[in-house]
């Protein structure tokens, strides 16, 4: 970034506000989604698991979609991703007349969301000063938390006091995604990444790919099974999940910028290994709180695990900064991050199916036991990162 330290560029301000709009819309959708499924379609735990196929397959094909639009620069591709996300959210709210139709709209929404994932980190690091990429990503994650808190608060107040509907919430989210698209469109264009670069797999990134696979498996357990355990096992309503998202967001205002600075100061090895250790205890709490504590205390423990898990999702920025440190050029960063999204979804889809079968046959406890084993593997591979 050419801007002198201490000055804020126009592009950064536009992207910052776009991230706020995206995070607000995403929070609206994410907070209501599991209750939407439970109340509108009354699906079983296995059906909820199988739903991860249309939801996560877009992540698997992200690299192919990005390559198809090779003539777009990263910022224009981000605009396209936001428009897809908006269309999917709008259709989910207005035209989900049946479960099968809803799955189609979910696929469109998820395609836009997954396409934006690597671009979010990539553009954020483009707008960082040298040696301060962790700090910049921490700032972006911090302001997105403010937006997520606002989104969760709107859901809580709206559903509790104003009879807010799922349809209205989805449509409102779509509006914010479109505003984000407009703001990114107003940013200056950068150079497109050549299509050949988007399919490059370099051996020097193999440790990143392994960590990404483990992250994808761990992420799937949080996205699919953590909210589902609160909704079905602990029977928590929409406003309760909104409260947990809001609490995590409030803590994240301080936590995520500090995490970004910690990545710059201590390095990716320490941060990723520390995340893995904490996740082991989080998985134990999810899976065995009801056996270890009273019903009231078990709910508190599970809720605390949910908030902690939510915060630790931000450690993904450490993987992005690791790539930037070992990449030869910005084009390589874009290619590797995009490939990483596709790679992690190959395994996360398998974890979703395996987890659903485990939940259905032997119980949810063993799903989180699997999560603990994944966290343990993550620790050992994180320790292989060079200082």
Distance CA 96, CA 101 (A): 6
What pLDDT is stored for residue 300 in this prediction?
94
CA 12 to chain CA mean position, Å: 21
For the question of whether the overall pTM of this predicted structure is more than 0.85, the answer is: no
What pLDDT is stored for residue 195 in this prediction?
46
Distance CA 217, CA 289 (A): 22
Half-sphere exposure of 240 (CA within 13 A, CB side): 18
Regarding the domain delimited by 11-188+205-382, which CATH topology (the fold level of the hierarchy) does it fall under? Growth Hormone; Chain: A; (1.20.1250)
Distance CA 34, CA 39 (A): 9
Q: Which are the contacts of 373, defined by CB distance < 8 A and separation ≥ 6?
A: none
Please state, in angstroms and as integers, the Cα–Cα distance from residue 221 to each residue in 59, 215, 351, following that order.
16, 10, 8
What pLDDT is stored for residue 7 in this prediction?
43
What pLDDT is stored for residue 201 in this prediction?
65
What does pLDDT average to in each consecutive run of 10 residues of the chain (387 residues)?
54 94 95 88 76 80 78 89 97 93 95 90 82 80 85 89 93 98 91 53 83 84 83 84 82 86 91 94 92 91 92 88 82 78 77 84 90 93 89
Neighbours of 188 (CB within 10 A): 10
Please state, in angstroms and as integers, the Cα–Cα distance from residue 150 to each residue in 2, 34, 147, 199, 237, following that order.
33, 19, 5, 38, 18
The sign of the dihedral angle between the CA atoms of 248, 251, 257, 259 is: negative
CA 56 to chain CA mean position, Å: 12
Residue among 111, 43, 106 nearest 345 (CA) = 111
Percentages helix, strand, coil for the chain (3-state, rounded to 5) are 85, 0, 15
**Tokens coding 305:** 């695990």
* CB contact at 8 A, 117 and 123: no
Distance CA 299, CA 234 (A): 7
What pLDDT is stored for residue 216 in this prediction?
81
What pLDDT is stored for residue 74 in this prediction?
85
What pLDDT is stored for residue 5 in this prediction?
45
Burial bucket for residue 350 (CB in 10 Å: 0-12, 13-18, 19+): middle
Residue among 111, 62, 137 nearest 344 (CA) = 62
**Tokens coding 135:** 């700090």
């Amino acid at each position: 970034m050419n801007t002198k330290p201490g000055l804020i560029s126009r592009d950064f301000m536009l992207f910052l506000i776009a991230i706020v709009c995206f995070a607000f819309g995403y929070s609206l959708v994410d907070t209501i989604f599991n209750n939407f499924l439970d109340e509108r379609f009354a699906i079983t735990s296995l059906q909820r698991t199988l739903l991860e196929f249309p939801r996560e397959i877009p992540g698997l094909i992200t690299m192919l979609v990005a390559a198809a639009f090779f003539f777009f620069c990263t910022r224009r591709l981000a605009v396209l991703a936001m428009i897809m996300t908006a269309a999917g959210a709008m259709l989910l709210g207005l035209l989900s007349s049946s479960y099968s139709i809803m799955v189609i709209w979910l696929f469109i929404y998820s395609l836009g969301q997954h396409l934006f994932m690597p671009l979010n980190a990539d553009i954020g690091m483009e707008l960082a000063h040298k040696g301060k990429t962790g700090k910049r990503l921490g700032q972006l994650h911090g302001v997105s938390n403010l937006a997520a808190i606002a989104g969760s608060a709107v859901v809580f107040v709206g559903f509790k006091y104003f009879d807010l509907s799922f349809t209205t919430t989805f449509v409102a989210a779509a509006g914010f995604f479109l505003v984000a698209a407009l703001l990114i469109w107003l940013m200056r264009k950068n150079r497109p990444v050549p299509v050949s670069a988007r399919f490059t797999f370099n051996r020097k990134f193999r440790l990143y790919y392994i960590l990404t696979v483990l992250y994808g498996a761990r992420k799937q357990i949080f996205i699919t099974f953590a909210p589902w355990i609160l909704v079905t096992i602990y029977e928590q309503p929409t406003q309760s999940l909104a409260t947990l998202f809001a609490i995590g967001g409030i803590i994240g205002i301080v936590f995520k910028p500090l995490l970004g600075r910690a990545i710059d100061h201590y390095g990716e090895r320490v941060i990723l290994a520390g995340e893995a250790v904490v996740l082991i205890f989080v998985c134990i709490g999810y899976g065995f709180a009801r056996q270890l504590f009273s019903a009231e205390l078990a709910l508190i423990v599970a809720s605390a695990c949910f908030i902690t898990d939510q915060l630790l999702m931000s450690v993904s920025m450490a993987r992005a900064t690791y790539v930037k440190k070992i990449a030869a050029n910005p084009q390589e960063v874009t290619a590797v991050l995009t490939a990483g999204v596709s790679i992690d979804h190959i395994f996360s889809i398998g974890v979703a199916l395996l987890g659903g079968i485990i939940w259905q046959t032997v119980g949810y406890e063993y799903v989180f036991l699997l999560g603990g084993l994944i966290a343990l593997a993550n620790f050992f591979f994180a320790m292989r990162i060079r200082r």
